[in-house]
Amino acid sequence: MSKPESQSMAYKRLEETQIATHYQSDPIPENPISQYNQVIEQYNLEYNKCEYKLEQANCTLFYEFIFAILKKPLGKIILTVIILFLPLINFFFYFLLWKSYIVYTKALNVYKDNKAKVSNPFARMIYSSEICELMNKNFYTFDISIAYLKNYKFKEKIIQELQNRPNQDNHKFMIYNTTFKNFYLDFPKYKNMHIIWLVWSTFLLASFVGFFYVYIYYFVIQQS
């Protein structure tokens, strides 16, 4: 007697038969703007969109570069070393910090405008951390009939929600997990992080300039 098929194997077979269609893009840069844009990109798909199309925020390469450095555990140390010990480069890096803050602020305005149009962009998506974990994805799109949903042991809540949608042969829907949801919810929280970076770097640069003038005065002017 054969063993019953595990749920993870069932979803794997579902994927292999191409009944499930995977729309997750390649890994995105680990910065809040790119992650926010991934949510908006998925929301704007026809089967996820509520009413209004939402705008994606602009994310520049130098923003990705700055965030990639400062998000590291040693980010503050790297920032301190650059500003205190690398003349000229420190001014350029400080300029990039301000540019990055401006880029994030503009993106935050896009976030607020989008939120005013659509308060819940996940309304037509289905939360299922269990399936996402089995698929090893943050989100996944299915194009499948109700019959297959029952065969592959989707939760009754998911089946019921899809049955309440307009009748059609196949149901195209997207599932998502907490990580994907937090790409959207956590976006405004990064404002404080950017402000801390600016305050700390301003203090460091002021210290650098102060030390430079003291050095010039005591060791150059006084001894000339």
From CA 125, how far away is CA 176, in angstroms rounded? 7
Summarised one tens digit per residue, pLDDT across range 68-85 is 888 887 887 888 888 888
pTM exceeding the 0.85 threshold for the entire prediction: no
Judged against a pLDDT cut of 60, whether residue 16 lies above it is answered with no
Out of 1-5, 69-73, 108-112, 159-163, pick the least confident. Answer: 1-5
Judged against a pLDDT cut of 90, whether residue 136 lies above it is answered with no
Judged against a pLDDT cut of 80, whether residue 1 lies above it is answered with no
From CA 47, how far away is CA 191, in angstroms rounded? 32
Question: Quick one: pLDDT band at residue 205, thresholds 50, 70, 90?
Answer: confident
> CB within 8 A of 71, min separation 6: which ones?
30, 31
What counts of helices (H) and strands (E) characterise the chain?
Answer: 10, 4
Domain-wise residue ranges, the chain: 7-221
Query: What is the average pLDDT score of the chain?
Result: 81
Question: Quick one: pLDDT band at residue 105, thresholds 50, 70, 90?
Answer: very high
Amino acid at residue number 81: V
Summarised one tens digit per residue, pLDDT across range 22-39 is 555 567 888 999 999 999
Return the pLDDT at 211.
72
β-strand partners of 21: 141
**Higher local confidence (pLDDT), 156 or 52:** 52
Return the pLDDT at 98.
94
To the nearest whole percent, how much of the chain has pLDDT over 70? 76
Return the pLDDT at 144.
77
